[in-house]
Amino acid sequence: MSFANGLNGLNGLNGLNGLNGLNGLNGLNGLNGLNGLNGLNGLNGLNGLAGSWNGSPGSVLTIHDALSGLYAPPATLPGPVPATEQDSLARWSSDVRARILDGELFSQIAFSPDPAHPRAFVVHSAQQSWTTEPGGPHLSAQYDPIVTLVPPSIPQLGDRQLALVANAALLRGDRIHEILAQIPVPLPFLGMFVPLSEERTKWTLELLAATFRLCVFVEMAFKHAFSLPRPHELSPQINPVIPTPLHGTLPSGHATESFAMVAMLVALLEKAGARQADRPWRDRLFKLADRIAYNRMVAGVHYPVDSAAGAVLGIALARYLAARCQGSEASCHSWHFDAATFCDDEPDGFFDHAALVRQMDIADGPTINPPLAEGPAVVAGLSVQARLTLGSSGILAWLWQKALAEWA
């Protein structure tokens, strides 16, 4: 079966078409619509919810009457429930697993303003633990920043950034087909470079779907906190070719999601020692993420700085998720991106995705190399803060190992 056919579940996401990359999550009813992403796992409309049989009610009723007879207690009962919660994961339908994974991920995420900067916003890793105190056990949490974003001012957006959006409209004739095809989840485009299909890489698709859902959960919190206007709200000369999403502009959701899914896929391929982790594949995957993000500016719905902030957030979230899957085996750092500094310092208003990836490719020991942490930023406004030590999750580790085996 072809890659596209293997992702037939994406056809079930037609409700997302016209949402322009999750337009304000309209119709998703508090992220419930994201359960449709189980289509990425080949569910074709959440087949898992249909149960284990498909007979008509009438035929089932008559068969029951004919065969069941008088009730008699079972001679034997099943043994005890599985020893660990992940032992049952393979038995559940993909949509149920998605809810379990989301519960595991979202419960360990927290948001807050940054006390050091009145306009900054932070996503934290919230690691919970039980402590023994007088009066009984007490649940406590340690909060470590994953990403801190400082937004640009509206005058900064209306200066050079808005002109770049206007000029990018010249590319619409060449890219309109890409722009329209990338309105829903852009995952199928990754299949241009690596073999992704329901038959061959079921668990990898589930891991990428979980990455996507984590991105939406986090990016919407940032978009709401900043509430920055879209380009067409600043100038009548910006006329988007697709419906403008009904939420804030920074960070770009498409940039966050595409860079996160690429970074997660690359981490998986590298860990497995797969051939597709070699530089030619890796570079093209990140270049694809950059093109998807850039197309949103060509469409007239984002500024370049939105894509830069989204790329930082997406890569950082993928590294965070990979660390939750692997524990101390994975390198994960806290990042700070000052979009205001980026707007002032970047001479052409754009970010170099290759430079950003190089800067965020940190594989170190227990502590950061001081020269690296204190050296000049490759991308203006971007700096590493600290190395995070994250505990692994049994549920996430189970999915990671399943996906890893598909590339061995």
Residue ranges per structural domain of the chain:
103-405
Q: What is the pLDDT of residues 104-162, one digit of tens each?
A: 999 999 999 998 888 999 999 988 777 777 777 777 778 899 999 999 999 999 988 99
Mean pLDDT of 178-185: 93
- Tell me which of 86 and 319 has the higher pLDDT: 319
Q: Report the length, in residues, of the chain.
A: 408
Q: What is the pLDDT of residues 189-242, one digit of tens each?
A: 999 999 999 999 999 999 999 999 999 999 999 999 999 999 999 999 999 999
Structure tokens at 396: 């996430």
| pLDDT score for 363 | 58
**Residue 166 predicted with pLDDT over 70:** yes
**Residue 19 predicted with pLDDT over 60:** no
| pLDDT score for 218 | 98
| pLDDT score for 21 | 41
Q: What is the pLDDT of residues 83-112, one digit of tens each?
A: 676 778 888 899 999 999 999 999 999 999
Q: What is the pLDDT of residues 334-384, one digit of tens each?
A: 999 999 999 999 888 899 999 999 999 985 433 333 444 444 558 999 999
Q: What angle do CA 258, 264, 270 make, to 5 degrees?
A: 130
Q: What is the pLDDT of residues 267-300, one digit of tens each?
A: 999 999 988 888 889 999 999 999 999 999 999 9
CA dihedral 337, 340, 342, 345 (to 10 degrees): -140
Q: What is the pLDDT of residues 21-41, one digit of tens each?
A: 434 434 333 334 334 444 444
- Tell me which of 5 and 224 has the higher pLDDT: 224
Alpha carbon distance 401, 324 (integer Å): 12
Q: What is the pLDDT of residues 325-341, one digit of tens each?
A: 998 667 799 999 999 99
Alpha carbon distance 202, 89 (integer Å): 14
Determine the topology of domain 103-405 in CATH.
Vanadium-containing Chloroperoxidase; domain 1 (1.20.144)
| pLDDT score for 377 | 55
Alpha carbon distance 302, 295 (integer Å): 9
- Which of 51-60, 176-185, 262-271 shows the lowest mean pLDDT across its residues? 51-60
| pLDDT score for 317 | 97
Q: Which of 404, 403, 397, 406 is nearest to 104 (CA)?
A: 397
Q: Which DSSP helix (H) or strand (E) runs through 261?
A: helix 253-272
**Residue 43 predicted with pLDDT over 80:** no
123 by Cβ neighbours in 10 Å (0-12 / 13-18 / 19+) ranks as buried
